[in-house]
Amino acid sequence: MSGSARRGDAEANDGRRLRLLVVDDHDVVHWGFRLLLTEQPWVERCLSARTSEEALELAARYDPHVALVDLFLGDQSGAELCEALRRDSPRTRVLLISGAGWISPEAARTAGASGFVPKDWAARDITRAVRMVAGGRTVFAPRAEQPATSLTDREREVLGLMASGATNREIAAQLYLSPHTIKEHTSALYRKLDVRNRAEAVQRAERLGLTSWRT
């Protein structure tokens, strides 16, 4: 966590008990985050959703202080969900999370997010980031390394199927892979192409001349 994040930790600890919302479609991560957060004495309630629709419904009903939103929700974009949450539940602040992808601070702020952290951060740093976002501060993890300049053959296959309009589940069936594996490939694609969603990925691929791999 950055030095500014550490300096802001004390400011975030204002004595409130927080209502949180975890939005993630991967079961292990979904329940891991819920377990981590419900154990915190400053958490009043931790809700969970696996889709954008569920997240918006729960946010409208419970008005959470912070929503932790996976950057890639199957075929859906966490950044787009962030925009919808900020529009429909303006008091809910959003902390974007990801296991493989990355989003620039500028793009995250444009979507309305107050931060972005990787899922493999230490538990204490993730909980600290949640409290800081709830306290009105921002937390953006630095990019660990520059993205690879070339795509693997499998990533090009996935990109081609994305460009043809196939969903992640349809891509998984065609390539004989699990939907979660396809999600990891799409996350890597978004990171390498420096985009937020599948439409931007296809547009970037066309500009780079990668759509010749289209299936």
Evaluate whether residue 147 is within a structural domain.
no
Q: What is the mean pLDDT of residues 160-189?
A: 90
Query: 134 and 182 share a domain?
Result: no
Evaluate whether residue 163 is within a structural domain.
yes
Evaluate whether residue 212 is within a structural domain.
no
Residue 54 confidence (pLDDT) above 90: yes
Evaluate whether residue 93 is within a structural domain.
yes
CA distance 55 to 117: 19
Evaluate whether residue 106 is within a structural domain.
yes
Q: For the domain that residue 190 is a member of, what is the CATH number?
A: 1.10.10.10
Evaluate whether residue 85 is within a structural domain.
yes
Q: Give yes or no for a contact between 137 and 8, defined as CB atoms under 8 angstroms apart.
A: yes
Nearest to 134 by CA among 3, 16, 4, 2: 16
Query: 118 and 159 share a domain?
Result: no
CA distance 78 to 198: 12
What confidence category does residue 132 fall into, taking pLDDT thresholds of 50, 70 and 90? very high
Q: Which two tokens stand for residue 187?
A: 């996350």
Residue 198 confidence (pLDDT) above 90: no
Query: 84 and 167 share a domain?
Result: no
Q: Which two tokens stand for residue 127?
A: 């909980």
Query: 37 and 65 share a domain?
Result: yes
Q: Answer with the one of 116, 140, 164 that is the final residue of a domain.
A: 140
CA distance 107 to 97: 14
Other beta carbons within 10 Å of 176: 7
Query: 157 and 135 share a domain?
Result: no
Residue 75: phi, psi to the nearest 5? -85, 0
Which structural domain range is residue 173 located in?
153-207
Mean pLDDT for all residues in the chain: 84
What confidence category does residue 201 fall into, taking pLDDT thresholds of 50, 70 and 90? confident
Query: 117 and 184 share a domain?
Result: no
Residue length of the chain: 215
Q: Answer with the one of 140, 172, 187 that is the final residue of a domain.
A: 140
pLDDT tens per residue across span 59-101:
999 999 999 999 888 777 889 999 999 999 999 999 999 876 7
209 conformational bin, left if phi > 0, alpha if psi -120 to 50, beta if neither: left
Query: 94 and 9 share a domain?
Result: yes
Number of domains in the chain: 2
Strands 76-77, 72-73: pairing is antiparallel
Other beta carbons within 10 Å of 44: 13
129 conformational bin, left if phi > 0, alpha if psi -120 to 50, beta if neither: alpha
Q: For the domain that residue 60 is a member of, what is the CATH number?
A: 3.40.50.2300
Strand, coil or helix: 180 = helix
- Return all residues near 61 (Cβ < 8 A) that are at least 6 apart: none
Evaluate whether residue 107 is within a structural domain.
yes
Q: Which two tokens stand for residue 52?
A: 């954008």
The whole-model pTM stands at 0.65
Query: 23 and 71 share a domain?
Result: yes
What confidence category does residue 6 fall into, taking pLDDT thresholds of 50, 70 and 90? very low
Q: So what's the pLDDT on residue 2? A: 44
Query: 174 and 91 share a domain?
Result: no
Query: 133 and 184 share a domain?
Result: no
Query: 135 and 160 share a domain?
Result: no
Evaluate whether residue 122 is within a structural domain.
yes
Range from 137-141, 182-186, 187-191 carrying the lowest mean pLDDT: 187-191
- Return all residues near 140 (Cβ < 8 A) that are at least 6 apart: 2, 105, 108, 115, 116
Q: What is the mean pLDDT of residues 152-156?
A: 86
Query: 18 and 48 share a domain?
Result: yes
